[in-house]
Amino acid sequence: MPDLLFEILSEEIPARMQAKARENLGALVLKGLDEAGVQYGVVETYSTPRRLVLHVAGLPERTPDLSEERKGPRTDAPEKALAGFLRSTGLTVEQLERRADKKGEVFFAVIEKPGRPLSGALAEIIPGVIRGFPWPKSMRWGTGDLRWVRPLTSILCLLDSEVVPFDVDGYASGNQTRGHRMVDPEPFSVNGFEAYRQGLAERRVTLEPAAREAEIAATAKKLCEEAGVTLIDDPALLHEVGGLVEWPVPLIGVIEDEFRDLPPEVLQTSMREHQKYFSASDASGRVTHFVAVANVQGADDGETIVKGNAKVLRARLADAKFFWENDLRAVKGGGLEDMAASLTSVTFHNKLGSQAERVDRIAALARDMAPVTGADAVLAEQAARICKADLASEMVYEFPELQGLMGRYYASAAGLDIRVAAAAEEHYSPLGPSDSVPSEAVSVSVALADKIDTLAGFWAIEEKPTGTKDPFALRRAALGVIRLILENGVRMRLSEPVGVALMRHVYLIGRRDAVALGEPLFDALEQFGEDHGGTERRAQFENLVSFLLSPQSGLAEQLEPGFEEDMRATVGDLLAFIADRLKVLLRDRGITHDLIDSVYALGDQDDLVLLVKRVDALQNFLGTEDGKNLLAGYKRAANILAAEEKKEKATIAPQPDPSLAVLADEQALFEALAATEVAVAPALYQENFEAAMLSLAKLRAPIDAFFDKVTVNANDPALRVNRLALLARIRVVTGQVADFSKIEG
Amino acid sequence: MTTTTPRSFQEIILRLQTYWAEKGCAVLQPYDMEVGAGTFHPATTLRALGPSQWAAAYVQPSRRPTDGRYGENPNRLQHYYQYQVLIKPSPPDLQDLYLGSLKAIGIDFTLHDIRFVEDDWESPTLGAWGLGWEVWVDGMEVSQFTYFQQVGGHDCRPVSGELTYGLERLAMYVLGVDHVMDMPFNDPDAPIALSYGDVFRQTEAEYSRWNFDVADTTTLLKHFEDAEAECERILAAEHVDPKTGKTIVMAHPAYDQCIKASHLFNLLDARGVISVTERQAYIGRVRALAKACADAFLLTPAGGAEAA
């Protein structure tokens, strides 16, 4: 069976684009084959910095005969409709079939596509793939209009040993390719895949990315072992470097003594980002060696290449050392507060003020948060004040990815409390669903304050995420808040810090817009925080609202009527956004959204720890026989009530009269409901949801028996009304635990 | 062909000149204005526009006031040289031509590791972008290699290929020098041998002081505004010259003012008087001038307009 070899040789393809390009190449060509009804065997794709390659085995000699039927207009349709159909099918009226349809006679076109040699089909499919290839960024070159990631050199396309003939903007397909650019650049011909692979290998090109990566990893490890050091794993770098070379030759070099005392992360980042080098460390963890991957085997065994790379690295590390020493000098001189001072002139967001203002807000919120996280309030505030200081450091300016980490180093150098230094790094966490969550209370306080401040700020200026657009990573911030709270068991009403943060933003935005306000009102606002700190968090939000509305704030006149309602609505909207992220998180833990909705429906559910505890208990309960049956009983009761309430257009009051309970099973349900109601309330108060569920479980048997033995639709209207009221009681009593009507199943 | 190692900075420049002259480029001279990079030379910026063919190579002294280090840093200078090649349309063998130029300055491919590493070029002040690479020799970036896609907001058709060599850095590598000031400028065996430092150490110190601390920011700002206004005024002039009766669109004189504004902005930046937010606004102003000049150039014969 024939096989297809297709190679596009070009100038150097960016490493980061190669994997996706391989995937697209395979998918697009196979799509063309599928549409032609062609079956195929094994499909492989390859890439090097200069080529993108597809190999498909097990192809047929010819494409199969295809017959396509298309329904056209009715035979009595206007002339125009018929003309259009004929045009689109390329047939004449005589060639159309007339068939009876539900609504009359209809034209049908049966288009027979006879099979043809596969080569002809490929000659149509492949140029289309080249022209429509989805590069993330593509370009034109010379005088042409063709787009590719970089200028195209040549196209090789063979079906077995025969060229599949086509031409794309002057690039004719052929059977030639080229070897390594530096070692063996002359074109050579091939007559099939094996000859191709072999020919490349002889000319210093390893076709398979995985083989290049394996070669790099193995040789790098061996070189490190020989030098008595340990290679630091870096899978992302390995992947990238594998896409930068056709013939990998790892070489090891030494980092000079004067740079070895830089933090290992700095050395690693500098080497990785600028030079694509791997790092290797000695027994004490210091980074002492680098591994560069060359594309050629130097005639002097790479001595010149290593020397050159070491020289470049020296200049790079001299820069890093210069930044490090300048930063340390600054920190030891004036502390991190000094470093942070320049943040006043750095804009965080044009509507949300400078980084310095942001730090002020985070500090106030972190202090507010201390009682609930269990942190020392002074340390939490101090940590927040310095947590963004490193953004003003030279090192972070050069290497933004070192933010936080440098803060930690510099805070330690400034002699700050170890918890404060840790918070400088950890307050960015968690950065994603799998990133670890800090557990030290100071870090938790600052991390929560930072994220809540960000969320509240963007809600205040109504820049919420929409669809796939989330430029400020607010979903990630919300998920971070949730994970910080749940994994640390932080007990608080989330509406409190959210409301307070929102108030601060509204206040600052208002003050910024009306610059004329002279009075240091922010301080006054801060005073409110002090006066109303501690546990009375609900009061704090209320007080802030009333403060803003009062003449002292200086903003009262600018505030719209309905300001207070707006603020409450905004807080509610943000909490709902957080609730959505919580649902996503819990769904991944196997908890369905309806359970969460059933608890949210109780209202005021902004203590996330409690909420999840309740949901967990509910899920366990609904997994039991009692739970399932109770839910069924509830649904039955609710359905009857719903039908009745719809008919009557009124809610049935849950106040049955015990004296009208004439049957034993009716009385039993009466008593069971009374007993459960009494038992559930204290259990809920004690947050003992298991006990509350157990009490609910006791309703199962009486409810089942009731439906079994008692006819709700009694002939006596008084009995009927009373039984409906009894069902309404079921709804009320279970409704203390969750809104069962939201639960599916 | 010779692949002996050059002995001086100027020999490397001369070899590049000879090489690109042999390859058919017009060897131009530096533009007589202060620019931040060789790309600013009208032989690149303006000639990359329009349908006409072009092939030019030249040395361009370039100034980056913020990079001044008083002549003390081994690698950083506020005044340095770029070697620039622009060929339109980009020939299919441009990479090979480029590699040939490295060979010409004595880089032996059997000993060195040459790589093309992704680097997308963008000049916000020129409203220009292109795709290409930085070229590494043993991990050292020695050139920028760019296929221009847009200049002054206009699609480039045909596409130009641009090569920019950082001459000091490349020469230091080829000559094995660690500090730029120690690099031989002329032949070290010449009767009067001069190092790079002999020529530039003092000026680096003088300009560093002036750039960072002395330049009068009020004057610079005034000059910026003057250049901006003059550029706009030139472009607003009637296309038909009342004196000669000919159509003369003054794209180049206007572009000179754009170059001036760009350099004045760099000086203001070095003086530290431009805030982060203002920065964007200034860049936007220069870009607006560059775009207007590009528009004007396309109305000239060199820009492909029919001769009037």
Residues A209-261: pLDDT tens digits? 999 999 999 999 999 999 999 999 999 999 999 999 999 999 999 999 999 98
- For the residues A536-544, what does the mean pLDDT come to? 54
Q: Check residue A534 and give its pLDDT.
A: 40
Contact in structure between B291 and B78 (CB atoms under 8 Å): no
User: Are A151 and B147 inside 8 Å of each other by CB?
Assistant: yes
Other CB atoms closer than 10 Å to residue A221's CB: what's the count?
Answer: 17
Of the two residues A660 and B36, the one the predictor is more confident about is B36
- For the residues A419-442, what does the mean pLDDT come to? 93
Reported residue count of chain B is 308
> Which residues does residue A45 pair with via DSSP β-bridges, in sequence order?
A54
Q: Check residue A343 and give its pLDDT.
A: 84
Distance CA A514, CA A163 (A): 74
- For the residues A624-651, what does the mean pLDDT come to? 88
Distance CA A8, CA A53 (A): 7
Which residues in chain A touch residue B161, judged by CB atoms under 8 angstroms apart? 141
For residue B155, the chain A residue with the least C-alpha distance is A140
Which residues in chain B touch residue A342, judged by CB atoms under 8 angstroms apart? none
Q: Check residue A316 and give its pLDDT.
A: 87
b or e along B89-113 (b: 16 or more beta carbons within 10 Å of the residue's beta carbon)?
Answer: bbbeebbebbbebbebbbbebebbb
- 0.90 surpassed by pTM: no
User: Are B139 and A345 inside 8 Å of each other by CB?
Assistant: no
User: Are A308 and B75 inside 8 Å of each other by CB?
Assistant: no
Which residues in chain B touch residue A12, judged by CB atoms under 8 angstroms apart? 116-118, 133
For residue A243, the chain B residue with the least C-alpha distance is B117
Å between A43 CA and nearest CA of chain B: 29
| Nearest Cα residue to A475 out of A502, A446, A451 | A451
CB-based contact, A312 to chain B, within 8 Å: yes
Distance CA A174, CA A7 (A): 10
Candidates A312, A321, A322, A352: best to mutate against B (most CBs of B within 10 A) is A312
User: Are B159 and A16 inside 8 Å of each other by CB?
Assistant: no
Contact in structure between A443 and A380 (CB atoms under 8 Å): no
Å between B117 CA and nearest CA of chain A: 7
User: Are B147 and A292 inside 8 Å of each other by CB?
Assistant: no
User: Are A292 and B89 inside 8 Å of each other by CB?
Assistant: no
Which residues in chain B touch residue A147, judged by CB atoms under 8 angstroms apart? none
| Nearest Cα residue to B114 out of B173, B185, B39, B53 | B173
Å between B33 CA and nearest CA of chain A: 30
Candidates B88, B113, B273, B276: best to mutate against A (most CBs of A within 10 A) is B113
Which residue in A15, A275, A347 is closest to B276 by CB distance?
Answer: A347
Which residue in A300, A304, A345 is closest to B138 by CB distance?
Answer: A304
Which residue in B140, B159, B276 is closest to A141 by CB distance?
Answer: B159
Tokens of A380: 């939490």
b or e along A686-722 (b: 16 or more beta carbons within 10 Å of the residue's beta carbon)?
Answer: eeebebbbbbbbebbbbbbbbbeebebebeeeebebb
Å between B93 CA and nearest CA of chain A: 9
- State the ipTM, two decimals: 0.94
CB-based contact, A294 to chain B, within 8 Å: yes
Q: Check residue A279 and give its pLDDT.
A: 96
Write out the H or E segment, with its range, that includes residue A68. Answer: strand A66-74
C-alpha A328: how far from chain center: 36
Q: Check residue A113 and give its pLDDT.
A: 85
For A148-178, the pLDDT digits (tens) are 999 999 999 999 999 999 999 999 999 999 9
The H-assigned helical ranges of B134-275 are 167-175, 196-209, 217-236, 251-270
Q: Check residue A536 and give its pLDDT.
A: 39
User: Are B118 and A12 inside 8 Å of each other by CB?
Assistant: yes
Which residues in chain B touch residue A14, judged by CB atoms under 8 angstroms apart? 118
Tokens of A143: 């005088």
A552 to A519, A524, A543, A557, A583: CA distances (angstroms): 10, 9, 13, 11, 42
User: Are A295 and B138 inside 8 Å of each other by CB?
Assistant: no
Residues in chain B where the model's pLDDT stays below 50: 1-2, 308
Distance CA A443, CA A427 (A): 5
- For the residues A354-367, what does the mean pLDDT come to? 90
| Nearest Cα residue to A179 out of A295, A37, A21 | A295
Q: Check residue A520 and give its pLDDT.
A: 45
User: Which residues of B make CB contacts under 8 Å with A?
Assistant: 74-75, 89-92, 95, 109-118, 120, 130-133, 137-140, 147, 149, 157-159, 161, 173, 178, 275-277
Mean pLDDT of chain A: 89
Q: Check residue A515 and give its pLDDT.
A: 47
Other CB atoms closer than 10 Å to residue B185's CB: what's the count?
Answer: 19
pLDDT at A542 over 80: no
Å between A295 CA and nearest CA of chain B: 6
State the Rg of chain B over Cα: 20
| Nearest Cα residue to B155 out of B125, B120, B130 | B130
Q: Check residue A525 and give its pLDDT.
A: 55
| Nearest Cα residue to B64 out of B203, B263, B258, B205 | B263
> Which residues does residue A83 pair with via DSSP β-bridges, in sequence order?
none
| A72-76, A81-85, A435-439: which is most confident | A435-439
* Angle made by CA atoms B39, B44, B48, in degrees to the nearest 5: 125
Which position has the token pair 């749940």? Answer: A486
Reported residue count of chain A is 745
Å between A346 CA and nearest CA of chain B: 7
For A251-299, the pLDDT digits (tens) are 999 999 999 989 999 999 999 988 999 999 999 989 999 999 999 999 9
User: Are A304 and B112 inside 8 Å of each other by CB?
Assistant: yes
| Nearest Cα residue to A16 out of A173, A243, A254, A212 | A243
CB-based contact, A186 to chain B, within 8 Å: no
For A707-721, the pLDDT digits (tens) are 888 888 888 888 888
User: Are A142 and B138 inside 8 Å of each other by CB?
Assistant: no
B88 to A1, A11, A48, B148: CA distances (angstroms): 47, 18, 28, 10
Identify the three-state secondary structure at position B39.
helix
Percent of chain A exceeding pLDDT 70 equals 95
CB-defined contacts A:B, below 8 A: 100
Distance CA A94, CA A105 (A): 15
Phi and psi, residue A174, nearest 5°: -155, -165
Q: Check residue A517 and give its pLDDT.
A: 41
pLDDT at A191 over 70: yes
Candidates A16, A139, A348: best to mutate against B (most CBs of B within 10 A) is A139
For A473-510, the pLDDT digits (tens) are 999 999 999 999 999 999 999 998 998 899 888 878 87
Which residues in chain B touch residue A347, judged by CB atoms under 8 angstroms apart? 276-277
Å between B98 CA and nearest CA of chain A: 13
Q: Check residue A644 and give its pLDDT.
A: 85
Regarding beta strands A171-174 and A152-159, do their DSSP bridges make them parallel or antiparallel, or are they unpaired?
parallel
Other CB atoms closer than 10 Å to residue B51's CB: what's the count?
Answer: 12
Of the two residues A735 and A542, the one the predictor is more confident about is A735
Peptide bond into A14 cis (omega under 30): no
Q: Check residue A552 and give its pLDDT.
A: 67
Å between B158 CA and nearest CA of chain A: 5
Burial level of A445, CB count in 10 A (0-12/13-18/19+)?
buried
pLDDT at A64 over 80: yes
pLDDT at A340 over 70: yes
Q: Residue type for A731, please?
A: R
User: Are B139 and A143 inside 8 Å of each other by CB?
Assistant: no
Distance CA A611, CA A628 (A): 21
For residue A13, the chain B residue with the least C-alpha distance is B118
Regarding beta strands A4-10 and A152-159, do their DSSP bridges make them parallel or antiparallel, or are they unpaired?
antiparallel
Distance CA A403, CA A391 (A): 7
Which residue in A275, A276, A298 is closest to B111 by CB distance?
Answer: A298
A439 CB contacts (<8 Å, ≥6 apart)?
A: A487, A488
Å between B116 CA and nearest CA of chain A: 6
For residue B142, the chain A residue with the least C-alpha distance is A312
For residue B130, the chain A residue with the least C-alpha distance is A139
User: Are A346 and B118 inside 8 Å of each other by CB?
Assistant: no
Phi and psi, residue B273, nearest 5°: -105, 5
Å between A564 CA and nearest CA of chain B: 34
Å between A597 CA and nearest CA of chain B: 45
User: Are A308 and B173 inside 8 Å of each other by CB?
Assistant: yes
Å between B245 CA and nearest CA of chain A: 36
CB-based contact, A313 to chain B, within 8 Å: yes
Identify the three-state secondary structure at position A676.
helix
For residue A307, the chain B residue with the least C-alpha distance is B138
Which residues in chain B touch residue A352, judged by CB atoms under 8 angstroms apart? none
Which residues in chain B touch residue A295, judged by CB atoms under 8 angstroms apart? 113-115
